[in-house]
Amino acid sequence: MSAMNSLPALPVEQFETTANLAGTLVLDGREKSSFSAGFIPGSVFIGLEGNFTYWAKHVLPGPTVRLLLVVPEEQVAEAAKLLREAGFSNIEGYLEGGFEAWRAAGKPVDEVPTLDVPRFAADFKGGKVAHVLDVRRPDEFEDSHIRGAQLLPLEVLRDRIQEAAPDKAYHLHCRSGYRSTIAASMLKGRGSAPVVNLHGMIDEVFEAGVPAE
């Protein structure tokens, strides 16, 4: 156990065994681009670069859930502190060596394909974007949203996830890509059809010619 935190560092095999126990959830707190490029299947993303405590309360199942962390070792203590402040004290440990150790061990890896603004705009105007899921707040949606988009705010996604049809291949977005990465991890975790996420500012999408309502 590192002197810099109070959580056990779990080697890959032990981490995997623990993650497979009922009632255990893998929480990935890395930066959103790193998470999207590769993560442990079934992980929930809440990046430490955002409002971590707030989203932990709105996204995680409840205070009794057993958590395993995937974060850089220098951020383990911070993540544990924030989780405890949010009411989550049942933290089993963190992945020793981080996600890189998991990948190096040849374990299964999932990913969330991402699009930048130019590619998203080109795909939308080319008819390649069939279902847009907007996970911003209702006031943001009412101010301006992509034509035909479905609103399902991240704050309520945990309890209303059935409103995102599992047979639809969604393109997700928020304002900048952080909240939609959380939403993508939740949809992937419940076994949705493939999702694609916009990493870029929604205002720039409109500037690129995607029609707004």
Q: How confident is the model at residue 42 (pLDDT cuts 50, 70, 90)?
A: very high
| Rounded distance between C-alpha atoms, residue 212 and residue 144, angstroms | 6
Which domains are assigned to the chain? 9-104 (3.40.250.10), 114-207 (3.40.250.10)
Tens of pLDDT, residues 156-196: 999 999 999 999 999 999 999 999 999 999 999 998 778 99
H/E stretch holding 80 reads helix 76-85
Residue 139 CB burial class (10 angstroms; 0-12, 13-18, ≥19): exposed
pTM of the complete model: 0.95
